[in-house]
Amino acid sequence: MKKLALAGLLTLSLACETAHAQADTIGNPRALFTYRDLVLAGSVAAVTMIARPFDDRMAARLQDSSTQANRKLQGTATFVRTVATPGSYVIGGTMYLAGRLSGNERLADLGWHGTEALIVGELVAVVIKGTAGRQRPYVQPRNSNSYGLFRGFGGPDKYRSFPSGHSTSAFAAAAAVSSETSRWWPETRWIIGPILYTGAALTGVSRMYNNRHWASDVLIGAGIGTFAGLKVVRYHHTHPGNRLDKWLLSGSLIPTDNGGHTVRWSIMPAPAWLTARPPSR
C-alpha cells in the first residue's frame, strides 16, 4: 500500500512537471489560465479517485507496528515534514532577503515568488479544510468517510484532514522553484523539477506515515500546491509591472554623492529610508 501511495504521488508529480514544462516552452504566454490547467486538474482528480477506495487500507498498513518501529522511516518522515513546513518559509524568506541585500534579482525573485506560492496554496487549503471537516485517520473509530460541513472551522484539529497542508506547501514550493529555474536554465528542466517534486511526494507520504492524513488528502494537497506555484509564477511573469513586484523586488543599495550609500525600497512613495554615511574626518 505504501508503494501504491508513493507511485500515485510520483505519477502526479510527473504530470505536474510535464504540464508546467509544456507551458514554459511556448514563447511568452500571456493567459493566466490555459487548457493545460484542465490537464493538471484532471490528473489530480483521476489519481485521487483511484487512491480513494484504498484510504482506510493504506492508513492501517502504515500504522502497522513493524512499520512504525522503523527508526529510519521515523527520522525521514520528521525531516521531510520539517523541511516542508516551516522550512519552506524559512528558506524562501532567507533567499529573498539575501537576494535584496546582495543585489541578486533572480534570488530575490525566487524567494519572494516561492513564499507567495506557499501563502496562496495554504490559504486555499485552510478554507477547504474548514469546509470539508474531514476526520483525521488517528481518530477512533477510523473512518475515511467522515466529513462534516464547516466542522473544521473553529473546531478541534482532528477534523481538518482534507487536504494535507504540508503536501500543499511542499508542492507549491516545488512548482514555483522549478518553474522559475526552468525559465533561467532550460537545460536543467528535467533535473531540478523531478528532484523537487520527488521531495514533495515524500513529504506527502510522511504525513500518511505519521497518521495525520489519508492518501486522498495528500493527493489533493499536491494538486492545490502545484497549481498555486505555477499560477503565482505565471502571473508575475505575465504581469511584470504588478504592484507586489514593484514593492518587494525593487530594493537597491545606491551610492550617494558624498561617498555613502542609501537603501531605496519602492513602496509608494519610495523615499530613501536608510542612509549610511562615512564617519566625518
Name the average pLDDT for the chain.
Answer: 79
Q: Which domain holds residue 22?
A: 2-243
Does the pLDDT value for residue 107 go beyond 80? yes
Is the distance from CB of 112 to CB of 96 less than 8 angstroms? Answer: yes
Does the pLDDT value for residue 23 go beyond 80? no
Report pTM: 0.76
Same domain, 157 and 272: no
pLDDT in tens, 207-251: 999 999 999 999 999 999 999 999 998 888 877 666 666 655 555
Dihedral (Cα; 139, 141, 146, 150), 10-degree rounding: -40
Residue 262 DSSP label:
E
Q: Which residues contact 175 (CB under 8 A, 6 or more apart)?
A: 16, 20, 117, 225, 226, 227, 228, 229, 230, 233
Task: Determine the average pLDDT of the residues in 97-116.
Answer: 88
Q: Which residues contact 6 (CB under 8 A, 6 or more apart)?
A: 201, 202, 205
Rg from Cα positions in the chain: 21
CATH number for the domain that contains residue 194: 1.20.144
Same domain, 93 and 48: yes
Instruction: Give the residue carrying C-alpha cell 500504522.
Output: 63
Same domain, 159 and 42: yes
pLDDT value, residue 69: 87
Does the pLDDT value for residue 269 go beyond 50? no
pLDDT in tens, 48-75: 999 999 999 999 999 988 888 888 888 9
Is the distance from CB of 174 to CB of 197 less than 8 angstroms? Answer: yes
pLDDT value, residue 101: 87
d(CA 77, CA 220): 19
Q: What is the tally of structural domains in the chain?
A: 2
Same domain, 257 and 234: no
The residues pairing with 255 across neighbouring beta strands, listed in sequence order, are: 261
